[in-house]
């Protein structure tokens, strides 16, 4: 219950949603949301309403990432403002529905916080994905979560990039936050991954409850990995992949990749080395990113400063 002099007043966060099944084969979020839909006691907190919600039910039913197009890239202003039509891809229609229910994106009526639950086949551990380096509410929340789960750890990935940032499901909230937990294969539920995700959501809700209850959170710093670039697999002239992630890089998410380090291994046994300045790769060998032509995402480390925050009682 620290008090401080330079806390910024922010609106209370009363409307909270937890999205699962934005990708229908990422089972931790699907299972948690279904569980909490049946019995919400675990996610109830004083002073807020928390709505668990399956965003892509048809993909969940088929246990596939999506039906027509990636829902987690579908929340563009173009899609959201398109005239309603049965000819639109399923996920675009669904994005419009979700935007009506939890947005509209950018409006005062939008939900305050949306937790969006994802799994990855990459060895990323627990990762919180931020969409803005200037959302001090979220910066304070992730700082709170990191402290609460210690000595377990949690990486912070900042997707704030002119090209690589994408229009997520959660982006309709005032304060969007993604959870990405792995490694877990698509279509599989692993108890360790499931429990890690569950604990993080619970701490996130605790933070909101404390914030709404009047607690001031003093200024702090948070260390993030900022997405800087994406790396494709080596390909032949026909566009076919000719190499795999090198065994020395596989599963080494968040570890430094230095110039001269092995990066790919071609099918005929050659090693391709990394050239360039030191980066911290993540989403290494994520199943869903083959079609996005991403072997991994490169990040740079950075320390962000969060203002102190407190709830304004208007």
Q: What is the Cα Rg of the chain in Å?
A: 20
| Residue 280, beta-bridge partner list | 299
118 binds, among its own copies, Zn ion, none (CB under 5 to 8 A by kind): Zn ion
| Residue 223, beta-bridge partner list | 303
192 binds, among its own copies, Zn ion, none (CB under 5 to 8 A by kind): its own copies
> Which residue has tokens 């890690």?
196
- Of the pair 101, 272, the CB lying nearest its own copies is at 272
23 binds, among its own copies, Zn ion, none (CB under 5 to 8 A by kind): Zn ion
Residues at the interface with its own copies (CB under 8 A): 31, 34-35, 63-64, 121, 183-192, 194, 240, 244-247, 250, 265, 267, 285-288, 290-291
Catalytic residue among 131, 180, 216, 286: 180
Q: Write the CB contacts of 158 (distance below 8 Å, at least 6 apart in sequence).
A: 129, 130, 133, 224, 225, 226, 227, 299, 302, 304
Torsion angles phi and psi, residue 44, rounded to 5: -80, 135
- Of the pair 34, 133, the CB lying nearest its own copies is at 34
Joined together, the tokens standing for residue 210 give 């404390």
Q: Which of 15, 51, 105, 118 binds Zn ion (CB under 5 A)?
A: 118
- Whether residue 28 contacts residue 193, with contact meaning beta carbons closer than 8 Å, is answered with yes
Q: Quick one: which H or E segment has residue 31?
A: helix 27-38
Total residue length of the chain: 314
Contacts 24+ apart (CB under 8 A), 273-276: none
Shortest distance (Å) from residue 209 CB to Zn ion: 27
Shortest distance (Å) from residue 154 CB to Zn ion: 17
Alpha-carbon 252 to chain mean position: 19
- Of the pair 121, 212, the CB lying nearest its own copies is at 121
- Of the pair 6, 38, the CB lying nearest its own copies is at 38
Shortest distance (Å) from residue 22 CB to Zn ion: 6
Shortest distance (Å) from residue 267 CB to its own copies: 5
Is 23 an interacting residue with respect to Zn ion (CB under 5 A)?
Answer: yes
Question: Binding site membership: which residues?
Answer: 23, 26, 65, 72-73, 118, 166-170, 180, 289
21 binds, among its own copies, Zn ion, none (CB under 5 to 8 A by kind): none
Is 160 considered catalytic here? Answer: no
285 binds, among its own copies, Zn ion, none (CB under 5 to 8 A by kind): its own copies
DSSP string, 163-229: TT----GGGGSSEEEEEEEES--TT---HHHHHHHHHHHHHHHHHHHHHHTT--B--EEEEEEEEEE
Shortest distance (Å) from residue 221 CB to Zn ion: 28
């Amino acid at each position: 219950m620290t008090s401080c002099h330079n806390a910024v007043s922010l609106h209370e966060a009363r409307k909270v949603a937890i999205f699962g099944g934005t990708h229908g084969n990422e089972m931790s979020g699907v299972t948690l949301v279904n569980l909490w839909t049946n019995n919400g006691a675990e996610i109830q907190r004083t002073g807020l309403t928390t709505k668990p919600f399956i965003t892509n039910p048809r993909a969940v039913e088929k246990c596939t990432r999506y039906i027509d197009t990636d829902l987690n890239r579908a929340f563009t202003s173009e899609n959201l403002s398109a005239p309603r039509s049965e000819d639109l891809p399923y996920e675009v229609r669904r994005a419009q529905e979700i935007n009506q229910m939890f947005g509209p994106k950018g409006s005062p009526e939008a939900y305050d916080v949306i937790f969006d639950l994802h799994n990855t086949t990459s060895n990323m551990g627990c990762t919180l994905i931020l969409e803005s380096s200037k959302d001090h509410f979220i910066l304070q929340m992730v700082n709170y979560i990191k402290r609460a789960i210690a000595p377990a750890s949690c990486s912070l990935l900042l997707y704030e990039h002119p090209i690589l940032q994408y229009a997520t499901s959660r982006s309709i909230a005032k304060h969007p936050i993604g959870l990405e937990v792995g490694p877990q294969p698509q279509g599989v539920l692993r108890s360790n991954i499931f429990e890690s995700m569950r604990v993080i959501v619970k701490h996130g809700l605790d933070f909101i409850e404390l914030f709404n209850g009047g607690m001031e959170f003093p200024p702090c710093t948070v260390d993030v990995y900022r997405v800087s670039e994406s790396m494709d697999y080596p390909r032949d002239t026909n566009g076919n992949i000719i190499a795999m992630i090198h065994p020395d890089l596989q599963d080494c998410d968040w570890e430094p990749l230095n110039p001269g380090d092995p990066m790919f291994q071609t099918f005929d046994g050659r090693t391709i080395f990394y050239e360039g300045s030191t980066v911290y790769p993540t989403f290494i060998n994520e199943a869903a990113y083959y079609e996005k032509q991403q072997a991994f995402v490169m990040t740079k480390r950075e320390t962000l400063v969060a203002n102190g925050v407190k709830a304004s009682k208007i």
